Amino acid sequence: MAEFFNALVDPNLTFLRYAFLTGLLASIAFGVMGTYVVVRRISYIAGAIAHCALGGIGAALFLQTRFGWTWASPMLGATLAALAAAVIIGLVTLYAREREDTVIGALWAIGMAVGLLFLAKTSGYVDPMVYLFGNILYISEYDLWVVLALDALVVGVGAFWYNKFLAVCFDEEFARLRGVRVGFYYLVLLCLTSLTVVMLVRVVGIVMVIALLTLPAAVAGQFARRLWHMMALSVLFCMAFTAAGIGLSYGPDLPSGPVIIVVAGAVYLAVTIGARLRKPRLS
Amino acid sequence: MSQNIAVALEGVSFAYNGAPVLEDAALRIGEREFVCVVGPNGGGKTTLLLLILGLLQPRCGQVRVFGGLPRHGRRRIGYSPQHARYDPRFPVTVLDVVLTGRLERHLGGRYSATDKKAALAALDEVGLAGKLGWPLGALSGGERQRVFLARALACEPDLLLLDEPMSNVDLAVENRLIEILQTLNRRMTIMMVSHDLGFVADVVETVVCVNRKVVVHPTSAITGAIIQDIYGGDVRMVRHDHRYAEEGYTHG
């Protein structure tokens, strides 16, 4: 650990500082949106959005190499694909009388398949592993600004519409009866979730998005009595998991994403089992 | 009773996927009336409320709430569903839930002092002022029912629609709820779905019997023959234990 702290202040290792700072700052958006995802029980939607992001990443890389569209960055592709997935899933759950989970599962797989096909036809070598499992140590100063913007958006919108989001998540039917545009707020929530998911892909990769989005919120939920308490706690837990994950992975040269997830998962299991033992009658 | 009409239905029919639930229903409820809706399970009681709320559209006929379309009159309605679709582990306090009754008054931002006053007054009315900071999940079923009633009251409604407010509630709480409702009835119309015919006879002026048809009776005119007609079986009139009564009905 001492080695890690020395590296953190080493002027030659800026990438580590960026990674560390990005992880901490992104935890704000992760904690807030993760709380909504957990209480509204839409973590599988977040998973589908993450996998659709790969479609966007693949398309962007393909366009970059095949047509020389340098502006088509993987992040832009991921963002657009994630937003499109959020809107499609939102509209399907709100209006189409389809089986929701079938549609979500289909999008999940199709997004992934499209991404892999694009990557297969992209000239030059692209390692899908970077996107699937993430690598926070690739993060640049630019990403830091993106994370700050995302935090500002999530906290700003989240604070302004906190009461609306709470009502829509808690009892949608009642909110609708009171004249609240439930569909609109639900779509806003899903779009904020998809922006957050894109950032998560950067930190822990597509495969582990759901874990870092929901585990801190799930741990916080064991202690919180009100929604915003849960958000604040969830932010703190997410910061702790990310920091611990990066710190623990540095010495033995492990990939940071999986270590973050293992730390989060271990704490979640311990807290859940602890809560069971303390109050055996409550489920 | 009163001159102004709160709820009016004319020739209303409704079907779920072809199976008729209500046929040619007609109904007029005056302002400040206290009406009880009774009928067997699946008879269309909840459907009737949902039509009044405008959450369902009639296949034919007309529903009017305070003289206008249901979705326009909706904001003057305080609604407490039989089973609010909520997650008991959702991190909210009693006050948080009741405040959502004030939601449509804002574009965004925080609740005002007026909202909080109205929410507190509503909680006071249902006798839960002492538990406003409690997590909803820590309350008993009956207390939660009262929280949802308070939420409906926080809307400051002119019409209160209650779907089975007496389920999950023991006799003492039931009596207390009846008192609360009678007080509220002085300033608002109340339409309540109940299984409990005994309750009906004691406090309500008008009974709306729903079993595909809708028939309106003044309470005094309820006889065994009418009940038999509605439920399609022999039912005793006075039963305070609704759970028991529920099993006693034969479904026609």
* Three-state SS sequence of A151-207: HHHHHHHHHHCHHHHHHHHHCHHHHHHCCCCHHHHHHHHHHHHHHHHHHHHHHHCHH
Q: How much is the pLDDT for A280? A: 58
Whether B128 contacts B157, CB under 8 Å: no
Query: Closest by alpha carbon to B224, among B196, B202, B197?
Result: B197
Instruction: Give the right CATH number for A17-207 from 1.10.3470.10, 1.10.10.60, 3.20.20.70, 3.30.365.10.
Output: 1.10.3470.10
pLDDT digit string, tens, across residues B222-233 = 666 666 665 554
Contacts of residue A185, defined as CB under 8 A and 6 or more positions apart, other chains included, come to: A161, A164, A165, A168
pLDDT of B182-205, one tens digit each?
888 998 999 998 876 666 666 777
One DSSP character per residue, A58-92 reads HHHHHHHHHH--TT--HHHHHHHHHHHHHHHHHHH
Q: Is the model's pLDDT at A214 over the cut of 80?
A: yes
Q: Are A82 and A49 in contact (CB under 8 A)?
A: yes
Hey, what are A200's tokens?
């998560």
Q: What tens digit of pLDDT does each residue of A24-33 get?
A: 999 999 999 9
Residues of B in contact with A281 (CB under 8 A): none
| Confidence at residue B1, expressed as pLDDT on a 0 to 100 scale | 43
> Angle at the Cα of A251 (from A246 to A254), degrees rounded to 5?
65
- The residues with which B163 forms a beta bridge, in sequence order, are B193
The Cα B102–Cα B98 span in angstroms is 8
pLDDT digits (tens, 9 = 90+) for B42-52: 888 888 998 99
Name the more confident of A72 and A59: A59
Interface touch B84/A161, C-beta < 8 Å: no
Residue B251 is predicted with a pLDDT of 42
Distance CA(B123)–CA(B111), nearest Å, equals 16
A80 vs A247: CA distance, rounded Å: 32
- Mean pLDDT across A134-148: 82
Which residues make Cβ contacts (< 8 Å) with residue A222, sequence separation at least 6? A271, A272, A275
Instruction: Tell me, yes or no, if A109 comes closer than 8 A to chain B by beta carbon.
Output: no
Tell me: pLDDT of B221 over 50.
Answer: yes
Beta carbons of A134 and A205 less than 8 angstroms apart? yes
Four-residue CA torsion sign, A111, A113, A118, A119: positive
Residue of higher predicted confidence among A145 and A99: A145
- Kindly list the residues of chain B whose beta carbon comes within 8 Å of any beta carbon in chain A: 53, 55, 74-75, 77, 79, 81, 84-87, 89-93, 96-97, 99-101, 103-104, 106, 108-111, 135, 151, 155
Confidence of residue A235 (pLDDT cuts 50, 70, 90): very high
pLDDT band at A281 (very low <50, low <70, confident <90, very high): low
All residues of chain A having their beta carbon less than 8 Å from the beta carbon of residue B112 are none
- Output b/e per residue, A179-193; b: 16+ Cβ within 10 A: ebebbebbbbbbbbb
User: Which of B84, B91, B104 is opposite residue A39, by nearest beta carbon?
Assistant: B91
B147: Cβ–Cβ under 8 A, 6 or more apart, which residues?
B94, B97, B98, B126, B128, B136, B139
Distance, CA of A57 to CA of A49 (rounded, Å): 13
Is it the case that residue B242 has pLDDT exceeding 60? no
| CA–CA dist A28, A231 (Å, integer) | 9
* Dmax (CA) of chain A: 62
pTM exceeding the 0.90 threshold for the entire prediction: no
8 Å CB contact of A227 and B111: no
Burial B106-131 (b: 16+ CB within 10 A, else e): eeeeebeeebbebbbebbebbbbeeb
